[in-house]
Amino acid sequence: MAKDIIPSITALFVEWSGSPPLRVEALPGSGSARKYFRVCGHHITAMAAYSPDPEENKAFLRYTAHFRSKNLPVPEVYRVDEESGIYLLQDLGDTTLFDLIGKNRGQPEPGSPLDKLLLESLEILARFQTEGHHGMDYSVAYPRMAFDERSLMWDLNYFKYYFLKLLQIPFHEEKLENDFVTLSKTLLKAGSDFFMFRDFQSRNIMVRDHQLFFIDYQGGRRGPLQYDVASFLYQARAGFSRETRERLLGHYLETIRNRYGQSGHEFMKHFHGFILIRLLQALGAYGYRGYFERKPHFVRSIPPAVANLGEWLEKSPITPDIPALREALEKVVAHYKSPRPEKLQERLTVSIRSFSYMQGIPADPSGNGGGFVFDCRSLPNPGRDEKYRSMTGLDAPVAQYLQGSDEVKIFLALTLNLVSDAVSNYLERGFTSLMVNFGCTGGQHRSVYCAEALYRHLANRNDIHVEIEHTRLL
């Protein structure tokens, strides 16, 4: 259980380093149930990972051992506690390739340091796909041993149920399913005698001392070459231009031809289909994580992903014949291109953020220069109690702890009333944006709880739009 994570991590760190850690810091989460921590000792650090899924843990650990035997750049595993679902890893720092791409607005200059890292990423990907495939034990792959017809249909139906239906895009169900089958059968002709990461993107590539390290490959399986390349080049928020994609793709094709004897012509026969399947899988994930789980950064990924989809529709070949799917995709692109009704444009949006003062106050994306900033550091801190340390303000035990405090009740009563008055005033004056920030030391417990309280307080109003983001839990 979550309350047992910190003691287990501490014990594992002591077993590895010989001394107890000075601190254990919870790190921002991902889209999955895994939790990550940085464990800091005297002049030594490690990463701790926790997953409640033993099959996923087995896949990651077995893959890691195999990749390291092939001298592929993955983190070293220091210690494993199988019973608790915790393992201790090499600390690769906090900088991802995605961070560097963002600083360059996704447009690397040819020959620049970022450009060299992107080219190297694709070269190393080719090594994983080929050298990493040889001798791999796919019996531990989870949830599928291969990217087969069932995997393809899962992705396509993920898109149908969590994107098309959520956006209320009309389609003919039987005809769409027929096109799904047609597309799947076509893509399966590409061959699958390679290792496939499944989620090969720049967020899963760490950069430390100008070296690349690869993480989050536990969903890997036997599969085609094309999927991971499409995933990397068409990552929604990477923002690569068409010219950049073509140049990077050309380098990858040259690599697999010269080093591994793979035909670029055969690769390209199916590449456009794999671009499509990856875009649809990503849109399904963004719909689910964004609309169901209320994670705004996934919602913000939808417009660039749809723009990539529009580009695919413009340049992709007609084969295979998938008219119902193409019609639905054209409706998706049109949906995002069409202007919003004037009534929605004038609606007041209240943006609620929780944050860590150690990371700084979030910027106001509206351009208005900011809004409310409430300091939660004077409130009782559940993070000082070991049983709450690995939890967040979204967890029931932490919420119960804070609900029992009169200080928290008074603080929330004052802040909620203050924001409610401001909302009424902004509506009268025709304003369209209000930002409210709640901060605490780590951005994990008190600020998250208070931000959620305000969200619940405002969410049922039909005259405003309310969004929430926990910047340290992304």
pLDDT of residue 316: 83
CA distances from 54 to 1, 15, 34, 57, 246 (A): 13, 21, 11, 5, 40
Structure tokens at 327: 């019609």
Q: What is the pLDDT of residue 320?
A: 86
Largest Cα–Cα separation, the chain:
70
Q: Tell me the Ramachandran region of residue 348: left when phi exceeds 0, alpha when psi lies from -120 to 50, beta otherwise.
A: beta
Token reading at 213? 């390290």
Report the C-alpha gap between 431 and 365 in whole angstroms.
15
Per-residue b/e over 192-217, b at no fewer than 16 CB within 10 Å? Answer: bebbbbbbbbbbbbbbeeeebbbbbb
Phi, psi of 163, rounded to the nearest 5 degrees: -130, -60
Place of tokens 């692109």: 333
- Domains of the chain, earliest start first: 2-89 (3.30.200), 97-337 (3.90.1200.10), 343-470 (no CATH)
Q: Cis omega (within 30 of 0) on the bond before 54?
A: no
Dist. CA 36–CA 160, nearest whole Å: 31
**What is residue 29's predicted lDDT score, i.e. its pLDDT?**
63
Phi, psi of 45 (to 5 degrees): -135, 160
* Cα–Cα–Cα angle for 459, 461, 463, rounded to 5 degrees: 125
Whole-number Å distance between alpha carbons of 236 and 404: 43
| pLDDT score for 346 | 58
Half-sphere exposure of 296 (CA within 13 A, CB side): 13
The DSSP output letter for 234 is T
The neighbouring-strand residues paired with 354 are: 438, 470
Print the SS3 string covering 119-176.
HHHHHHHHHHHHCCCCCCCHHHCCCCCECCHHHHHHHHHHHHHHHHCCCCCCCCHHHH
β-pairing, 433-440 vs 372-375, is parallel
Return contacts of 174-179, CB within 8 angstroms, 24+ apart.
175/323, 175/324, 176/324, 176/325, 176/328, 178/324, 179/322, 179/323, 179/324, 179/325
User: In whole angstroms, what is the distance from residue 22 CA to residue 35 CA?
Assistant: 19
Q: What is the pLDDT of residue 32?
A: 66
Report yes or no: 16 and 78 within 8 Å, Cβ to Cβ.
yes
Ranges of residues in the chain whose predicted pLDDT is under 70: 1-4, 28-32, 105-106, 294-296, 338-346, 367, 474
Cα(267)–Cα(191) distance, integer angstroms: 10
pLDDT of residue 5: 86
The SS3 call for residue 461 is: coil
Query: Percentage helix, strand, coil, to 5, in the chain?
Result: 50, 15, 35
- Cis check: omega of the bond before 362, within 30 degrees of 0: no
Cβ atoms < 10 Å from Cβ of 88: 23
pLDDT digits (tens, 9 = 90+) for 157-200: 999 999 999 888 999 999 999 999 999 999 999 989 999 999 99
